[in-house]
Amino acid sequence: MAANPSPNPKSNMWNFIAWYLRIWRIAHGMTGEDLGRIMKASKATVSRVENGHERLSGTQAMMIDKAANTGGLFTLLVWYASIGHDPEWFAQYVELEQQSSIVRFYGALVVNGLLQTEDYARALAKAGLDADPEKMVLDRMQRQAILLREPAPHMTAILSQNALEWPVGGPHVLRAQLAHLLEMAKLPHVVIRVVPREVGAFPGLTGSFQLISGSGFGEVAYTESPGAGRLVSSPEDVMSYVVRYELISAVALSESASLELIRRILEAIRD
């Protein structure tokens, strides 16, 4: 049976790695089982990597480099892929999000998409000059279905007080958004905490990010900026986001105190 076609190597660096790994393996007369023994992985795993369905890890790359004396080629390729912008970042992120069992995120400026109301999401889409705001809103609302599935992923959301007070969409929209957060916090698998303004400088001021975990892909981090995004899968790089999340969590209010702060902010909003 013919092998599945390799992904387009011109589309992004991860696809280039998948494409080149197969060419390199065949050129060296290796079967999938042969490469699997080097990577300490199954033939099926090798196939998924070469088809672009799973990413070569930094550890696997180092094993190949050491066994084949490549001079560190695959390790360098994985490193460049992990730090660069992937033009297909969002589709890849959403696919992993749908498979996740644990979702942790920190919101520095706005409420995260999985907890947004439709009007709040629409206000952000229009302000962000999105080419098709309504499609973006629809896609975001559909993504939220993972919080109602069985079993639903466990979610811990940490938000800065600024994210709760910034008047996205105006007072009416913001009130509805804060009320929605209080409702979502009633779900047994959703925890919402807040970093109060009096904390001062803390690691979360550098920007928002997410950590998602699943049995099929381990743990990855995701961060975005205008016009770009980054899905981080290298274990070493993911760990830096885990540490940052823990430092932010350390200065956040408890769950009960956080919900009380949200209620106070909600009650203080006036038209």
Beta bridge partners of 218: 214
Residues of the chain with pLDDT > 90: what percent?
Answer: 65
User: Where does 13-83 sit in CATH, by number?
Assistant: 1.10.260.40
What is the predicted pLDDT for the residue at 178? Answer: 98
Angle formed by the axes of helices 43-50 and 32-39, nearest 10°: 100
174 or 93: whose pLDDT is higher? 174
User: What average pLDDT score do residues 131-147 get?
Assistant: 89
Helical ranges in the chain per DSSP H: 13-27, 32-39, 43-50, 58-68, 73-83, 89-99, 118-127, 133-143, 161-165, 171-184, 235-251, 255-268
**CA dihedral over 144, 147, 153, 154, signed as positive or negative:** positive
At 269 the three-state DSSP class reads: coil
What is the predicted pLDDT for the residue at 2? Answer: 47
**CA dihedral over 80, 85, 86, 92, signed as positive or negative:** positive
What is the predicted pLDDT for the residue at 89? Answer: 63
What is the predicted pLDDT for the residue at 165? Answer: 96
Would the pLDDT of 83 be above 90?
Answer: no
Asked whether the whole model's pTM tops 0.85, one would answer: no
Would the pLDDT of 3 be above 70?
Answer: no
Domain boundaries, the chain: 13-83, 89-268
Residues of the chain with pLDDT > 70: what percent?
Answer: 93
Would the pLDDT of 87 be above 80?
Answer: no
User: Where does 89-268 sit in CATH, by number?
Assistant: 3.30.870
A 10 A CB-CB count for 11 gives 14
Confidence of residue 228 (pLDDT cuts 50, 70, 90): low
What φ, ψ does residue 228 adopt, rounded to 5°?
A: -150, 165
What rounded mean pLDDT belongs to the chain? 89
Dist. CA 191–CA 174, nearest whole Å: 20
| Tens digits of residue pLDDT in 99-132 | 899 999 999 999 999 999 999 999 998 887 677 8
What φ, ψ does residue 227 adopt, rounded to 5°?
A: 80, 5
What is the predicted pLDDT for the residue at 12? Answer: 77
Task: Annotate 148-173 with DSSP letters as a single string.
Answer: GSSSPPEEEEEEEHHHHHS-TT-HHH
Dist. CA 163–CA 204, nearest whole Å: 12
Tokens of 203: 């690691």
Tokens of 19: 């494409």
What is the predicted pLDDT for the residue at 95? Answer: 81
What is the predicted pLDDT for the residue at 53? Answer: 80
